[in-house]
Amino acid sequence: MGTDLAKEAKRVGTVSVNYEKLAGILTPQLAVQLSAHDQALQAAFVQASAPMLAELEKGRTALNDAGAVVTMQVTRASEQIEKLGGVVTWRMVGQIATVLLPLALAMFMVFGVTQTIWVALGFQPILQTIWGWFLSASQWYWKLAIAGGAGVVLAAFGCLTWWIGKKLGGSYSSY
């Protein structure tokens, strides 16, 4: 059959296609294939999104619980403020200072350790170099760029310090 078709095409010289007839043959098959593909995509989307939706629901529940706790704490704090009646005595200032003393000591320790690590890793000369560049810059936009870059470096180091502190705090909280 293939050779007869080739001979006929060679004899005629041109091949014409009846596009309406071809579309009539291919369209029903294409519709079935597209429908099956669409159903498969929908099923895959439902299957893939189910864990994400469950995780989102879990997160929403956790946020609602945390919001309820914060609301309760704010309510208690406002009740305590109302009890105080706006009067702050020296005794209260001393009590507040006594409560904040461990926080101040912890902050002092964190900054001291951070500074020690900063110098040990060799970042101190980098900051001195950046400060020298800042002082020698004559245009305001260069000063802004240098200050912005230094701010980004310091913010990144601060985030790294915070992240390490969270990890260490989490690992030592069970002791």
**pLDDT tens-place string over residues 108-157:** 887 777 778 777 877 777 778 888 999 999 999 999 999 999 889 888 88
CB 130 within 8 A of CB 149: yes
Provide the phi-psi class of 66: left if phi over 0, else alpha when psi is between -120 and 50, else beta.
alpha
- 87-112 residue pLDDT tens: 778 888 888 888 888 878 887 887 77
Of residues 156 and 63, the one with the higher pLDDT is 156
